[in-house]
Amino acid sequence: MTLDVSWAIAWVRGTAQTVAEHRDELVELDRQIGDGDHGENLTRGFTAVIQRLDALEEPPAEVGDVLKLVATTLMSTVGGAAGPLYGTAYLRAAKATGAPRLDSAGVVALLEGALEGIVVRGKSTTGEKTMVDAWSPAVEAAVLAADAGLDPAGVLAAAADAAERGAEATIPMVASKGRASYLGERSAGHRDPGAESSALVLRAAAWAAAEATA
Amino acid sequence: MKKLINDPQTVVAESVAGFGRAHADLVAVHSDPLFVTRVGGAVPGKVGLVSGGGSGHEPLHAGFVGMGMLDAAVPGPVFTSPTPDQIAPAIAAADAGAGVLAIVKNYTGDVLNFETAAELADAEGLRVRTVVVADDVAVEDSLYTAGRRGVAGTVAVEKIAGAAAERGDGLEQVAEVAERVIANVRSMGVALTACTVPHAGRPSFDLPEDEIEVGIGIHGEPGRRRVPMTSADEITAMLLDPVADDLGLAAGDQVLLLVNGMGGTPASELYVVYGRARRLLEERGVEVARSLVGNYVTSLEMQGASVTVLRLDEELAALWDAPVHTAALRW
């Protein structure tokens, strides 16, 4: 099986829904070690994405077109650190999807592009209590799953599982990037909101792929 | 949460619109995208100054738009930086052919969005220089953080760089003056209470009645440490000593002393802090040559204050004294 533009649209709609559902939880996580706006900012961004998607006269032709629309909308509506980071992630992911349909290798390329965007924009690496701590294990798991011959839905499920474990693993970390870093040792003991929202985004991708396969 | 707002989603737009109408002689408000410019637009031949960041820090930044200070300010959502498609048009509006200096506080979101906006403006052929204010000494080891935060020292950077631009300095000179202020200004803040972001609906941290947060930034985030509540004199020493030590102040130095309120502390208490901070500086043999006391870089309704010290040289003092006419600062 392969994933096409209808999967990408379902992914984006699913992300908007799950982000809105988890808005208060993300706000609370961010309140503990940041300034409490992460859930609000992402909800505002993905609401705008859905509005722009709905307003299109013709649906986007390819996966990359959907991701590009997400990227530009997030960059122009989210602000904060999340806007440029997610915006760049979707932009690089769009660039990495050359074909109209994605096979398992295509899904891996998409995820690698997203991770690269976050790393480049945020100048961050693993262990700093950021989104990278969810995306990096997700990409590693996706590579392994694709090598093992899993289909795109299986690759995304593996990535989402790894992202959730990655978000969990940020709890004991001391932040050295982003606003939580100002708390120093006091940032330990809290789950990073960016890693958590990243896990939600990847879970939405896996759900949409499972639906597309079913 | 009790606040004088209609809707958390529209509070910033409504506030900026009201600000624009109250100060129509000084500023013009552009609503889509949202930014504020000096009335009459950019001044021909003058380097343009742009700043911005999350809302909730009023009068920063829009309150400092006007003669002798900023040409444009870009308000983001509460405590969230504005987006590049807001900042880039503000940069373009501030440009009168002599280039634009962007003054950015060192927060990841502000830095990333201004960086992107500067790239967009550069692609349009504008000359943009960016300086990053990082005056908060509460951030001890910047190796393991995103670096020191930009807090109340921003007012001094905007005032002094604004005066340099107003007297006709070129972009490189204005940027150099701004960098000199940044190199010589340090701050530290304390919170007695948390603040409540409208869309979050509850205080940004839970602080018992008998404790204070020392080393806060300006986004309602917890500070570096929590200590028992104590006297104004002791709290002032907790703020001033690290600032003075970090600056390496020596007897004979001349400084500007700024005691800034976080929004919910009365002026009477700020003057208590000022009096103590000034005595502490004088005990070090440091001369307080210029002073400013009041709410300039706030965190919504937070109770608390920050102490900022800027080491002055003759030129910086003269630029500080130069005329300024904005909604929040004028002489």
**Confidence band of B26 (pLDDT split at 50, 70, 90):** very high
Tell which residue, B55, B202, B215, has the closest CA to residue B135.
B215
The residue from B57, B61, B199, B325 that is catalytic is: B57
Q: Is B113 part of a structural domain of the chain? A: yes
Please indicate whether residue B23 is annotated as part of the active site: no
User: Does residue B270 share a domain with residue B134?
Assistant: no
Instruction: Look at B83 and A75 and tell me if their CB atoms are within 8 Å.
Output: yes
User: Does residue B240 share a domain with residue B172?
Assistant: no
pTM, rounded to two decimals: 0.91
Instruction: Look at A182 and B79 and tell me if their CB atoms are within 8 Å.
Output: no
Instruction: Look at B221 and A34 and tell me if their CB atoms are within 8 Å.
Output: yes
| B48-55 β-sheet, strand order | B27-31, B34-38, B72-78, B48-55, B100-105, B128-133
Please indicate whether residue B219 is annotated as part of the active site: yes
pLDDT digits (tens, 9 = 90+) for B65-98: 999 999 999 999 999 999 999 999 999 999 999 9
Strands (E), A160-207: none
pLDDT recorded at residue A128: 95
Q: Is the pLDDT of residue B285 over 90?
A: yes
User: Nearest-CA distance from B321 to chain A in Å?
Assistant: 34
User: Does residue B297 share a domain with residue B153?
Assistant: no
Helix, strand, coil % in chain B, rounded to nearest 5: 35, 25, 40
DSSP B265: S
pLDDT recorded at residue B1: 85
Q: Measured in whole angstroms, how far is the alpha carbon of residue A72 from the centre of its chain? A: 15
Of B159, B183, B207, the residue at which a domain comes to its end is: B183
Instruction: Look at A182 and B140 and tell me if their CB atoms are within 8 Å.
Output: no
pLDDT digits (tens, 9 = 90+) for B218-228: 987 777 789 99
**Mean of the per-residue pLDDT values for chain B?**
95
Q: CATH code at B228?
A: 3.30.1180.20
Q: Is the pLDDT of residue B11 over 70?
A: yes
Interface predicted TM-score (ipTM): 0.83
At B65, give phi and psi (nearest 5°). -90, 125
Beta bridge partners of B304: B191
Q: How far apart are the first and last CA of chain B?
A: 37
User: Does residue B126 share a domain with residue B60?
Assistant: yes
Tell which residue, B225, B262, B227, has the closest CA to residue B151.
B262
**Mean of the per-residue pLDDT values for chain A?**
95
pLDDT recorded at residue A185: 86
**Confidence band of B142 (pLDDT split at 50, 70, 90):** low
A37 CB near a chain B CB, below 8 Å? yes
User: Does residue B129 share a domain with residue B44?
Assistant: yes
Of B153, B183, B213, the residue at which a domain comes to its end is: B183
pLDDT recorded at residue A1: 86
Percent of chain A scoring above 70 in pLDDT: 100
Q: Is the pLDDT of residue B48 over 70?
A: yes
Asked if the peptide bond before residue B61 counts as cis, ω within 30 degrees of 0, the response is yes
* Domains held by chain B: number: 2
Q: Is the pLDDT of residue B144 over 80?
A: no
User: Does residue B197 share a domain with residue B175?
Assistant: no
User: Nearest-CA distance from B139 to chain A in Å?
Assistant: 6
Q: Is B1 part of a structural domain of the chain? A: no
Minimum-distance CB partner of B204 among A35, A83, A182: A35
User: Does residue B202 share a domain with residue B53?
Assistant: no
User: Does residue B170 share a domain with residue B59?
Assistant: yes
Q: Is B107 part of a structural domain of the chain? A: yes
**Confidence band of B141 (pLDDT split at 50, 70, 90):** low
pLDDT recorded at residue B132: 97
User: Does residue B101 share a domain with residue B24?
Assistant: yes
User: Nearest-CA distance from A125 to chain B in Å?
Assistant: 13
Per mean pLDDT, which of A77-81, A175-179, B108-112, B181-185 is the most reliable? B181-185
Q: Is B132 part of a structural domain of the chain? A: yes
Minimum-distance CB partner of A35 among B85, B145, B220: B220
Of B163, B183, B203, the residue at which a domain comes to its end is: B183
Mean pLDDT (whole number) for B143-171: 93
Contacts of A179 in chain B (CB under 8 A): 107-109, 146, 217, 219, 221
pLDDT digits (tens, 9 = 90+) for A116-132: 999 999 999 999 999 99
A188 CB near a chain B CB, below 8 Å? no
C-alpha dist (Å) from residue B303 to B43, B57, B216, B331: 38, 13, 12, 27
User: Does residue B143 share a domain with residue B59?
Assistant: yes
Q: Is the pLDDT of residue B123 over 90?
A: no
Interface of B with A (CB under 8 A): 54, 76-85, 107-109, 112-113, 115-116, 138-141, 144-146, 149, 197, 199-200, 202, 204-205, 217, 219-222, 224-225
For B81, the domain range is: 11-183
Q: Is B279 part of a structural domain of the chain? A: yes
Percent of chain B scoring above 90 in pLDDT: 89
Rounded CA gap, A125 and B209, in Å? Answer: 39
Instruction: Look at B109 and A182 and tell me if their CB atoms are within 8 Å.
Output: no
pLDDT digits (tens, 9 = 90+) for A33-67: 887 889 999 999 999 999 999 999 998 999 999 99
Minimum-distance CB partner of A81 among B108, B222, B224: B108
pLDDT recorded at residue B143: 61
Q: Is B140 part of a structural domain of the chain? A: yes
Tell which residue, A117, A123, A139, has the closest CA to residue A177.
A123
